[in-house]
Amino acid sequence: MTIDLAQITADTLALSRDLIQRPSVTPKDEGCQALMIERLEAIGFTVKKLRFGDVDNFWATHGQSQPRLVFAGHTDVVPTGDVDEWTDPPFDALVKDGFLYGRGSADMKGSLAAMVTACERFVKHNPNHQGTIGFLITSDEEGPATNGTVKVVQYLQDNNIPMDWCIVGEPSSTEHPGDIIKNGRRGSLGAVMTIQGKQGHVAYPHLAKNPIHLAAPALAELSQQTWDQGNEYFPPTSFQISNIHSGTGATNVIPGKIEVVFNFRFSTESDQASLEARTNKILDQHGLDYHIEWNLSGLPFLTEPGELVKAAQHAIKKTNGISTELSTAGGTSDGRFIAPTGTQVIEIGPVNSTIHQVDECVKVTDLGEVSSIYEIMLEQLLPTKA
């Protein structure tokens, strides 16, 4: 296959700009999915629109058999913040000095455009390809993530539609497209803990119980724990306190309670039950009167090197000559909802250095490289039938 990166880049840039100019701040879609659907239907995709609550989603397929290679992504973007802090309006999708600027350019409308243009080229040259190409698109990734991918995955399971491989278009790269492949993610277990004391006057501490003083030794012990050693794919599990709140606002009042917000980012060496049990044991040893509300927002997942990873490595090497690195670092993604079905999941996308920032941008040539990587992976995994 001859790679015309200049033409691939021009086509992908044009669609990226069209998507960015639609201000789809989560959970709004603002017509992004309609644009994608129009392009996909034009090359023979069958589309099922799936709206749950206030969230637009769609499932699109080309082909009817296994294996299924699915592109997953989101059309919603995070809020812009103060637009006056942006050099240019965040939804103007301006190109300057070789970069495309705008909210969502890197996270992840550039990837969505790359997926569509890659499929347009692939289907044109391989109309009778093996297996099925799928698109699982939501507008709820940057928000609560309750009516998006998780609901579409349930729909697929209810209709006995398995996925074999999934490419999530999250911006995974650090310097060049494909230098990092996310082949897994850590789990995320959050908690809001309330520790009770007894309110009183600071001049009479013997008549009160200061919950801040009571909590401090336990919090120190929690922060110093080794929860696990990690493994060859994951760093050790981390415990981080993100907020502590107490007091009435008066300097002469011992508060009656303290609220502590904390989070575990955990590897496959730990699980929710063991982390909760060890936390409770430490708190009990300190004799605290406490209550915890736990929130599991994602389990850890891992795609070990296999067909999908090898196809990605080959595609990246052929596109830009880079030898990629596997990583499970970073936050959560919608891959956490897809991997538990048994699907091999990896994340490949543009450079992530400006995501969620003022003046978010992506290098224009990177758009073409990402699209090329996706197309070559299609060639590897779903070649034309003999």
Per-residue tens of pLDDT for the chain, all 386 residues: 567 899 999 999 999 999 999 999 999 999 999 999 999 999 999 999 999 999 999 999 999 999 999 999 999 999 999 999 999 999 999 999 999 999 999 999 999 999 999 999 999 999 999 999 999 999 999 999 999 999 999 999 999 999 999 999 999 999 999 999 999 999 999 999 999 999 999 999 999 999 999 999 999 999 999 999 999 999 999 999 999 999 999 999 999 999 999 999 999 999 999 999 999 999 999 999 999 999 998 899 999 999 999 999 999 999 999 999 999 988 788 999 999 999 999 999 999 999 999 999 999 999 999 999 999 999 999 998 76
Catalytic residue selected from 56, 141, 170, 347: 141
Please state, in angstroms and rounded to a whole number, the distance separating the CA atoms of residues 185 and 187.
Answer: 7
Catalytic residue selected from 29, 76, 120, 334: 76
Please state, in angstroms and rounded to a whole number, the distance separating the CA atoms of residues 356 and 341.
Answer: 29
| Half-sphere exposure at residue 208, Cβ-oriented, CA atoms within 13 angstroms | 18
3-class state of residue 4 by DSSP = coil
- Taken as a whole, the chain contains a residue count of 386
Task: Provide the Cα torsion 76, 90, 99, 313; round to 10°.
Answer: -10
Q: Checking DSSP bridges between strand 187-196 and strand 180-182, what pairing results, if any? A: unpaired
Per the rule left: phi > 0, alpha: psi between -120 and 50, beta: everything else, 110 is alpha
Lookup: tokens for 143: 């928000």
Beta strands in the chain (DSSP E): 46-52, 55-62, 68-74, 95-96, 99-101, 132-138, 165-168, 180-182, 184-185, 187-196, 200-201, 238-246, 253-254, 257-266, 290-298, 301-302, 325-327, 344-347, 361-363
Lookup: tokens for 125: 């040259």
The answer to whether 232 is a known catalytic residue is no
Q: Is the C-alpha dihedral spanning 377, 19, 169, 51 positive or negative?
A: negative
Q: Is the C-alpha dihedral spanning 158, 161, 165, 169 positive or negative?
A: negative
Please state, in angstroms and rounded to a whole number, the distance separating the CA atoms of residues 350 and 370.
Answer: 7
pTM for this entry: 0.89
The answer to whether 120 is a known catalytic residue is no
DSSP β-bridge partners for residue 345: 166
